Amino acid sequence: MTTAVSKLEFTALDAEAVGRLMADFRAARSPHTLRAYEADLAAFATHAGASTVGDAVRELLSAGPGAANSAVLRYKDRLLTDELAPATINRRLAALRSVVRVARLVGLITWSIEIPGLRTTPYRDTRGPGRAGFQRLVQLAADQAEPKRSRDLAILWLLYGRALRREEIASLDLEHLDMVGARVRVMGKHRREREWLTVPPATIRSLAEWLAVRGDSQGPLFHRVDRAAAMAGDRGRLTAKSIERLVSDLGKRLGLRVRPHGLRHAAITEVLDVTRGDFRTTQRFGRLQSANVLRFYDDNREDLGGEASRLIAP
Q: Are 268 and 159 in contact (CB under 8 A)?
A: no
Residues 189 and 262 reside in one and the same domain: yes
pLDDT value of residue 114: 95
The helix (H) or strand (E) run that includes residue 177 is strand 177-178
Q: Looking at the domain assignment, is residue 295 inside a domain? A: yes
Residues 36 and 143 reside in one and the same domain: no
Does position 292 have pLDDT exceeding 80, yes or no? no
Please count the structural domains in the chain.
2
Higher pLDDT among residues 222 and 35, named by residue: 222
pLDDT in tens, 208-256: 999 999 999 999 999 999 887 777 777 889 999 999 999 999 999 999 9
Residues 135 and 270 reside in one and the same domain: yes
Residues 172 and 296 reside in one and the same domain: yes
For residue 300, name the pLDDT band (cuts at 50, 70, 90): low
| Among 200, 219, 198, CA closest to 154 | 200
CB-side neighbour CA atoms (13 Å) of 192: 4
Q: Looking at the domain assignment, is residue 218 inside a domain? A: yes
Residues 206 and 160 reside in one and the same domain: yes
Q: What is the model's pTM?
A: 0.66
Residues 14 and 138 reside in one and the same domain: no
CA-angle at 59, arms to 54 and 62, nearest 5°: 120
Residues 6+ apart with CB under 8 A from 158: 164, 169, 184, 199, 203, 207
pLDDT in tens, 114-159: 999 988 655 555 556 888 999 999 999 999 999 999 999 999 999 9
C-alpha 22/C-alpha 27 separation (Å) is 9
| CATH number, position 207 | 1.10.443.10
Residues 6+ apart with CB under 8 A from 274: none
pLDDT in tens, 74-108: 999 999 999 888 889 999 999 999 999 999 999 99
- Which residue range(s) make up the domain with 82? 3-105
